[in-house]
Each structure stands twice: as C-alpha cells, then as structure tokens.
Amino acid sequence: MPQPHDFARLTSITTPVWSRDGRTLYHLRGGGLPQVWAMDANGANPRQLSDHAEKVAFLRRAPQDDRLIWGIDAGGDERQQFWLLEPGRQPRPLTECHSVMHDFGAFSPDGTRIAYAANDRTEFVFDVLVMDLATGATTRLMRREEGSCAVAAWRPDGAVFAVVEDRSSSDQRLHLLDVATGSARELPRRGPTRYAAVRWAGDTLMAITDAGGADFLRLCAIDPVSGEASEVYAPPRREVEAWGVSPDSALLATIENDRGYAVLKIGPRNGDRAVATGLPEGGIVADLAWAPDSSGLATTAQSPLVLPGIWYVDAASARARLVAAPDPRADAGVEPAAFVRPELVGWKGMDGLPIAGWFARPAGLPPAAGWPAIVWVHGGPAGQTRANFRADVQMLLAQGFAVMMPNIRGSTGYGRAFMEADDGAKRRDALDDLAAGHAWLAAQPAIDARRIGIMGQSYGGWVVLAAIGLQPALWRTAVDYYGIADFVTLLDRTGAWRRSHRAREYGFPHEEAELFRQISPIHHVAKVRAPLLVLHGDRDPRVPQNESDQYVTAMRLAQKQVRYERFTYAGHGFIRPDHRDRVYDAVAKHFRETL
C-alpha cells in the first residue's frame, strides 16, 4: 500500500506553448516545483530548459521568435521575477528586485518589449511598466493610486493595451492605455463587473465578462468606446472560462463550466462548433494553445482519475489525442487503477439554496459501522472545487476515509448571485450550507455519522476554524491549512497590495467590528471540541503566519488539543518536496489518530 507521502510526489505536465514553426511544444513539467521543458509536437524527445530551486509560475513565447519568458518567486512569497531564454543561450533574469512583485502581462506585437504590472514604487500599489528587452530599460506608463491591476493584452497595431483593475473578486474595471502618451481611459460600465481573459482577436477587443448585469460569465466583444458588451457565446446557465481564436482567425475554441466539469468546443468562429471528444472523461480542460497553422490546439486536460497532461485536439474532427502525461507508477509508485472518481452530489442550504459538492468513498466494502469521512473545503471564497485530479484526496481515500468537497455559497462557477450570497453580514450563511452538507453526509448508509472531520485551506481554513468553534457538536476532528483566525488582524497584516481588495470581500474593520467579532474564530476557541492540526508557512503573503500563531496560542491557553506544524521557506501553499512529504504524512497521521 502506498504511503501518504508517495501521493505528494505525483507530477503534472501542463501549460503548452507552441514554437513558432509548430514543431515543438514548450511546457511546464514536474511536481511541486515544475520547470520549463520542451518536447517534439508528438511528445517525443523531452528536454529540460530551466533548473530553478523554485516553482515556475507561468510561461510565454515571444510573437516573432522562440524567446521564452517565465517567472519564479522565492519560497512562495509571490514576489515574482522574470527570466528570459533566447534560443542557443542560457536563461537570464530580466528583473532582480526580490522585494517587488512583477506580474507579467503581454509582449508587444513585434516582440521587442513587454508590459507588466509591479509594485516597485510602493508595495500598496501596482503601476504599469514597459521594458525594452534589448536594453532592459523600463518606462512607467501608468502611475496608479490604489491596489492591483494586470496588463491583459496588447493591440495588434502596438498602439494600445488593455489593463484590468482588480478591485475585488466581483468587481474589475477595464482601461485602455495609449502606449505613446501613457494616457489611460476607463471604459464605461453599468455597475460592478467581472472581466477575465481580455484579449484582442484582430482589432476586436474580447473578454469573458458579466458586463451589463448578466449573472453568468459569457464571451463578449467589448466596444472600446462605450464599453458595451455584445455576446459572442453564452451557454445557458453555464459560465465561459476560457477562449481562443485560431491564428487564421477562422476558428474559435471555448471552455465552459458545467457544474464543475469542463466542456471544450471547437469549430468555425461564426458557425456551429463541436464538443471535443477523446479527452479524459468527466474532467477539466485549460490552457488553449492554437497551433501556428490553425490545424488544432494543445491543451492541458485532467480528471479525478487522470493526472494533468497535454492533449492535442484536431480542429477538423474535434478529436483529441494524448501528447504527454505523467506516469504515477514511475513518479511515485502509485497505481492509477486504485484512483477513485468522486460523484457530483447536491443538497439544499438552510434557506433552500441549492448547494453542489463532490463525494467519494474508498474502494471496497465499508466497515460495519461505515467509513469515517472528511469534508474538504476550498479556499477563495471565490473558488470552486472542480473535477480535477487531487493527490491529497486520493491519498485520503487510500487511507480509508470518505471525502466530501462542498461548493458552499460564495463559490464561483454558479453565477454572480451565488458568488455574492456570502458577502458581508451573510458570511455565516456559508456555515449553514456546511451544516446542511454534514447532515447529507451523515445520512449516507456507508458513512459513520459519528466520525466526520473537516479540513480546508486559506479561506477554507477559516471555514474549518469557524466550524469547530460555532458548530462544535458536528466535527470530530479538524485540519487547518493557513486559515484566517481574526479578520481584523488579517486585514492589518496581509500583503499591503491586497488589503482593500480583501476588505471589499469581508468588510472594513472600522465598519464591521461586531460582524468580525462574530465570525472570527479566535473569539470562539472556548467552544472547540475537535482535536486540531494546523499547518502554516513563514513566507505566506496572503494569510500571514500570525493568524495561526495566535489561534494555536489561544487553543493551548484554553487547554485544547492542537498540533502546530510550521514550515520555513513556504508561502501560501506547500510546494517543496520535503514540505509536501511532511504535510501528507502529518495529515494522514492526524486523521488516523483522531477519526
């Protein structure tokens, strides 16, 4: 039987990027610290191009040649630096100010410059800069007053690029920036609007958006003067999450979110498009990369049973074939036949709101009393548990625990109204969804209703700590990964650039003092019954380690059962191989002993 840490060593192959001649696929490959690789278009001849002791976070190719740019931070601190690889040379850094966050945006159409956002002037604010790649000279084109932004796309004529100002998870603003003058113009909008995947298709500005008051995200053309959105593709009751137009402008590919599954459609830009076949069944798809000759596209695909790999989808037939995938036996000694597929389930929240989730039972017959179960809560809250491969979930199933993963209110993928249903004073309603999910789980014949635990990460960690304090009778045991203990201290200590962004989600301390007292777990420690495992990294810029420090101190003062695992040189997540081994072993041990 595999050990828990064996699952931590499973790898992925993702992020396909074509060479200019279409003969090579650059990509990211590896486990917690993926690196840049290249392979032939058919998956043969893989070769490693980068060798950092850090995770490569993104990969882009210049439009006119095969120069590559990627980004790494230091120990998960999110202060990303850019690296450039020119054909025939060794990789070299483009930025080396390790106290600054650099967010890559776009190449200029001629490939001579890059545009990006950085908080080099003050950590509170991201400005927009342009770098000349030949000289390294930078120009500050947009000097901003507040918060974060991202360069979305450079217009093909090189004169303008789009900038998305990110005010909150449900509120972005779209600006057009004149490259010659540095003048920016905000596009009009009717109210809070979400924008994603903002790019030009020729001279047409397109984006995934809910502009105009739509509940679900759809693909739209955006008028560059009025800001009005004209629907290009809007599937009923589903959100579009990715799109790509072929280089010859004739074909369109879209990915839509079907209750957590992904549906890829490909075909004529102005005609009927077919659903792609041959991809992993019941999974998700990402990273649409059109081949230079428009014959098809490369994409990352995975499912609960299939690790992330790269597939090629033929445009004419909409049929997919595997290009490259990890080997779980070789990488980790894990047998893929033992993986379990969760089923999509649902229940009603306390107010009747439909809640969806995923439920998986270990292979084989349950014990006489039923399986012990773990409820795993995603972060965000603007996130969604999907039909992807989860090494941690497969590890828990192999250890004999059933797993249920709810998408409580506040999750994305179900429209704006659902995402905003936990805002402000409605925050505790999400815990009611959790209690209703617990009741659904406890009623399953194969589950031991007396042995249900809970775990979660980031905002999901807050859900864990809030649940064991405000619903102590429900939860037998708990695991918290870098969760929020006190919303007041979180907003005081989180990265300066994200304080106002998070306050627009949770509330501003001077306005919500009583709400924060009610929902901050630090104030409910005395009621906790569940033994707790807490895990946190010392370089976490989002939920600083102080959140776990103070909560564990309070638990110990109240003589509650708590174990604290602190990690050096770790950010908002555990990506280093030794950290991942330690996390998987600690979590499995905690649940074996307490559940």
SS (H, E, C) 59-91: EEECCCCCCEEEEECCCCCCCCEEEEECCCCCC
Residue 1, pLDDT above cutoff 80: no
Structure tokens at 181: 């003058």
How many angstroms separate the CA atoms of 435 and 34, rounded? Answer: 38
Residue 566, pLDDT above cutoff 90: yes
Question: What single-letter amino acid sits at 394?
Answer: Q
For 287-327, write each residue's pLDDT tens digit. Answer: 999 999 999 999 999 999 999 999 999 999 999 999 999 99
How many angstroms separate the CA atoms of 487 and 472, rounded? Answer: 20
- What residues pair up with 264 in beta bridges, in sequence order? 255
Q: Are 253 and 266 in contact (CB under 8 A)?
A: yes
Residue 148, pLDDT above cutoff 90: no
pLDDT at position 202: 86
Q: Which of 335, 322, 395, 401 is nearest to 364 (CA)?
A: 401
Question: What band does 505 get if pLDDT is binned at 50, 70 and 90?
Answer: confident
Structure tokens at 199: 């790019």
Q: Are 23 and 44 in contact (CB under 8 A)?
A: no
How many angstroms separate the CA atoms of 333 and 327, rounded? Answer: 9
Q: Tell how strand 532-537 and strand 562-567 pair up.
A: parallel
pLDDT at position 500: 85
Q: Are 243 and 234 in contact (CB under 8 A)?
A: no
Question: What band does 63 get if pLDDT is binned at 50, 70 and 90?
Answer: very high
Please enumerate in sequence order all residues whose Cβ is within 8 A of that of 90, keeping only pairs 6 or more positions apart, or say none.
none
Structure tokens at 530: 């569940």
Structure tokens at 73: 């931070």
CATH fold of the domain at 340-594: Rossmann fold (3.40.50)
Structure tokens at 485: 């203990």
pLDDT at position 44: 98
Please enumerate in sequence order all residues whose Cβ is within 8 A of that of 125, keeping only pairs 6 or more positions apart, or say none.
119, 144, 145, 146, 147, 497
pLDDT at position 595: 95
| Crossing angle between the packed helical segments 391-398 and 577-594, to the nearest 10 degrees | 40
- pTM of model > 0.85: yes
How many angstroms separate the CA atoms of 451 and 481, rounded? Answer: 21
Domain ranges of the chain: 340-594
In the numeric block, the tokens 């619903």 are attached to: 471
How many angstroms separate the CA atoms of 81 and 405, rounded? Answer: 35
pLDDT at position 94: 97
pLDDT at position 99: 94
Question: What band does 331 get if pLDDT is binned at 50, 70 and 90?
Answer: confident
Structure tokens at 193: 């609007």
Q: DSSP assignment of 455-478, as one string?
A: EEETHHHHHHHHHHHHSTTT-S-E
Structure tokens at 184: 């920016």
Neighbours of 142 (CB within 10 A): 22
Give exposure, 411-434, as e/b (b: 16+ Cβ within 10 Å).
bbbbbbebbbbbbeeebebbbbbb
Q: Which of 77, 30, 101, 7 is nearest to 568 (CA)?
A: 77
Residue 2, pLDDT above cutoff 90: no
Structure tokens at 53: 């002791």
Q: What are phi and psi of 329, to 5 degrees?
A: -70, -45
Question: What band does 147 get if pLDDT is binned at 50, 70 and 90?
Answer: confident
What is the chain's percent helix, strand, coil content, to nearest 5? 20, 40, 40
Structure tokens at 210: 């809910």
Neighbours of 89 (CB within 10 A): 9
Q: Which of 494, 501, 499 is nearest to 165 (CA)?
A: 501
For 344-383, write each residue's pLDDT tens digit. Answer: 999 999 899 999 999 999 999 999 999 999 999 999 899 9
Q: Are 101 and 83 in contact (CB under 8 A)?
A: no
pLDDT > 90 in the chain, percent: 90
Q: Are 209 and 187 in contact (CB under 8 A)?
A: no
Compute the mean pLDDT over every residue in the chain, rounded to the nearest whole number: 95
Length of the chain: 595
- What residues pair up with 12 in beta bridges, in sequence order? 30
C-alpha dihedral (43, 46, 49, 50), degrees to nearest 10 = 100
Structure tokens at 72: 């790494």
How many angstroms separate the CA atoms of 456 and 587, rounded? Answer: 11
Question: What band does 195 get if pLDDT is binned at 50, 70 and 90?
Answer: very high
Question: What band does 120 get if pLDDT is binned at 50, 70 and 90?
Answer: very high
Residue 412, pLDDT above cutoff 90: yes
Question: What band does 59 get if pLDDT is binned at 50, 70 and 90?
Answer: very high
DSSP state of 196: E
How many angstroms separate the CA atoms of 528 and 535, rounded? Answer: 18
pLDDT at position 543: 96
